Structure 1
Amino acid sequence: MKHLIFFVFTLILLSACSNDSAKTDQTATDTAITAPVAETKADNSKNALDWAGVYKGTVPCADCEGIETTITIANDSSYVLSLNYLGKKEAAPIEKKGTFSWNAAGNTITLNGITDGANQYLVGENRLIQLDLNGERISGDLAKKYELSKQ
């Protein structure tokens, strides 16, 4: 009789352990299926670079010695643009403020509110590259002169 009781007790114990293991396996499977998949985004200028700061440079000018350009961009998507036309005594420095937006690729900013000149910049490592009025990189001998360096 003792052997029979021991045998039944062992079967109950084994069956209880077996069910817990099955429940644990099923719970792990359910969690893996229903857990949200982390969204992976490729690195771009917006999310991978320390882009906020002050950028300066002198870009070419058709009727002056150059345009001394300073752009301050901030983490809150605001900007301050200062333009000083060199060699033009009658031209007062210009300052514009506003917000900027990123393109879908996260590599170019557009200075909102500027319609009478360059307002798009490719954001690189410690530099802004002024784009032409169509949003394309400027090429040719003067291309390097359209880069603003982070201060």
Structure 2
Amino acid sequence: MKSSVLFICLAALSLSACNQTKKENQQAVASDSSDHTTMTADTTHTSQNSLDWPGKYEATIPCADCEGIKTNITLKNDNTFSIVSEYINKNSKVEDSGKVMWHDNGSVVHLTGKETNMKLKVGENKLIGLDQDGKEIDGPSAHLYVYNKVEGEK
């Protein structure tokens, strides 16, 4: 008889312990969900809709067989662009124009024309050259692939 009373008490104790753990888990899950709500990224502000991106940008990018390529890129409000690339000391100039496509939630422009196929990250008054994989160019010459906005140009 004592053993059956002891068994019933132990069973009741274990069931109440399980119920307590379930309540604690529910409270933990509820507080975790509220944390996720507050950590939602702000996707309404992008380079495309928050920055003054239309305008003229310039840089002199490296060249294997010349002193550099002076490049001017003009981005227009109608999502078109024009580009002029002049090979320094080579008397060679390439001009092109085409469409601007926006990628990565409005932070990257993809310029496509007859001669042009390039992606650039849009920053405050600058465009940053991206490699074939869409990553920022790094290394000692990375700063040469930053196109700065020309003051007073649109």
Output the TM-score relative to the length of structure 2.
0.66
Q: What's 1:109 paired with?
A: 109
| Post-superposition offset of 1:64 | 1.0
Distance 1:117 1:62, change over 3 A: farther
Partner residue, 1:124: 123
Query: What is the RMSD computed on CA atoms of the aligned residues?
Result: 1.7
2:84 maps to 82
Where do 4+ consecutive residues of structure 1 move more than 2 Å?
Answer: none
Residue 146 of structure 1: aligned partner: 145
Identity value in percent:
39
Shift of 1:97: 0.8
> When the two structures are aligned, how many residues end up with a matched partner?
109
Note if contact 2:110-2:117 (Cα within 8 Å) is conserved in structure 1. Answer: no
Could you report, residue by residue, the CA deviation over 1:27-75 in whole angstroms, capped at 9, with x for unpaired residues? xxxxxxxxxxxxx743110111000000011011111111100000001
Structure 1, unaligned stretches of length 5 or more? 1-39
Secondary structure of the 1:79 match is: strand
2:136 corresponds in structure 1 to 137
DSSP-derived class of the 2:113 partner: coil
Higher helix share: 2
Distance in 2, matches of 1:139 and 1:117, equals 22
Q: 1:133: how far off? A: 2.2
* 1:134 shift after superposition: 2.2
Normalised TM-score (structure 1): 0.67
CA distance in 2, matches of 1:117, 1:80: 10
Q: Unaligned stretches of 5+ in structure 2?
A: 1-41
Q: Is residue 2:95 matched to residue 1:95?
A: yes
Distance of 1:86 and 1:118 partners within structure 2: 21
